[in-house]
Amino acid sequence: MSRPRVYITQPIANSAIERLQSVADVEWNKDPKHILDKTALCEAARKCDILFCLLHDRVEADVIAANPNLRAIASMKITPSDIDVATATLRKIPVTVIPPIVTEATADVCWALLLAVSRRLVEGDKLVRKGIFPGAQSSYLEGAMVFGKTLGLIGGGGQIGRAVARRASGFGMKVLYWAPRRLSEIAERAAYLTYVSFDELLKDSDFVSLHTPLKEDTHHQIGAEQFRLMKPTAFLINTARGGLVDENALTLALTNKEIAGAGLDVFEDEPNVTETLRSMDNVVLTPHIGSAVRELRESMANIVVDNILEILSNKPASNCWNKEIYLN
C-alpha cells in the first residue's frame, strides 16, 4: 500500500517535517519568501492527499476541486480564513486549525510597532545606515512620549488585548478598552482596564490598538469618520486583521495629519501593500509576523502534524473546524 502524500506550502520546523516523513511522503515549497498563487496551489493539491497550508494561503473552491481524492486541508491558522470551508464540507473534507496560542507573541509585536512608530526607530535606523548622525540632542528625530500616555484597545476584552494591557502597566499608561461585550468589574480591575464607549476611546487615546476579529460587521471598523475623532497626535496600531481598517481612509488621514502615524503588521490586501503606505516615514510596516517566534512556530507546526496523524489514523481530528462532516 502506498504511503499518503502531504504537501506543505512553505518551510516549517524540521521537527514537524520529520514526524510527517515517518508516516508519509512529504514535499514542500522550500522558499519562505514565496507565496503560492492559485495555479501553484492547484498543482500542489493535485499531487497530495493532505494539503498543509499556512495563514497567507487562499484555498479556494478551485484548489479543492483540483483533486477529487483530497483527504484533508490541514491549516496552521486559528480560524480558517481564506479557506472555502463550505466546499470542503460538501466533500466531507476535514479542515483543521490550531488553538489560539499566539497571544503573547502577538502582544509583543503590538508593542514593538507602538514603540517603533512613536519613537521613530525605523527612521533612525535608516539614517545611521546611511552614515547620517544628526546629534544626540538634535530635534531631527523627535518623537512622541509613550510613558504615562493613554492606550485605547478596541476589542480589548480578548486574550491579546489583555496581554497588551498587561505590558502597558510597565509604562505607567492609562488603558481604555471597548468591546461588544464588557468584562466583569473583577476582570477589568485585574487587567487595569477602563471601559468606555467606542467614540470616547477614539477621542481620548494617544494610541489606538485593534484587537477585534474580522467579520462582516467589523470590516472597515476604522475609517474616515473614526480618524476624524482621533487626536492629531495619536497613532493607530493594527496587529489583528487588515480588513478592520479602510486603508484608503488611513492614507488620507496620515497625509492630512489627522493622526500622527501608524504601526501595521496586517494589511487589507495581503500580501500587497500600497506604494503610498510603503513610502510614508510615519508608518512602520511588518509583514504579518505576529506569531513569528521560532519556538512558537514549531509548536504550531507540530499541532498541525497532530491533526494530520489523527486523520491518517481514521480518527476525527481534534482541531477540526467543520466537525459536522463526522456526524453522518
Catalytic center residues: 241, 270, 288
The count of C-alpha atoms lying within 13 angstroms of the C-alpha of 210, restricted to the half-sphere facing its C-beta, is 28
| 175 DSSP β-pair partners | 151, 193
Query: To 5 degrees, how large is the angle CA 13–CA 17–CA 23?
Result: 155
CA distance 298 to 301: 5
Could you identify the residue written with the cell 471598523? 221
Task: Specify whether the backbone of 296 is left (phi greater than 0), alpha (psi in -120 to 50) or beta.
Answer: alpha
Parallel/antiparallel/unpaired status of strands 235-238 and 174-178:
unpaired
| 150 DSSP β-pair partners | 174
Backbone angles phi, psi at 105, to 5 degrees: -65, -40
Cell of 59: 484555498
CA distance 73 to 26: 15
Amino acid at 62: D
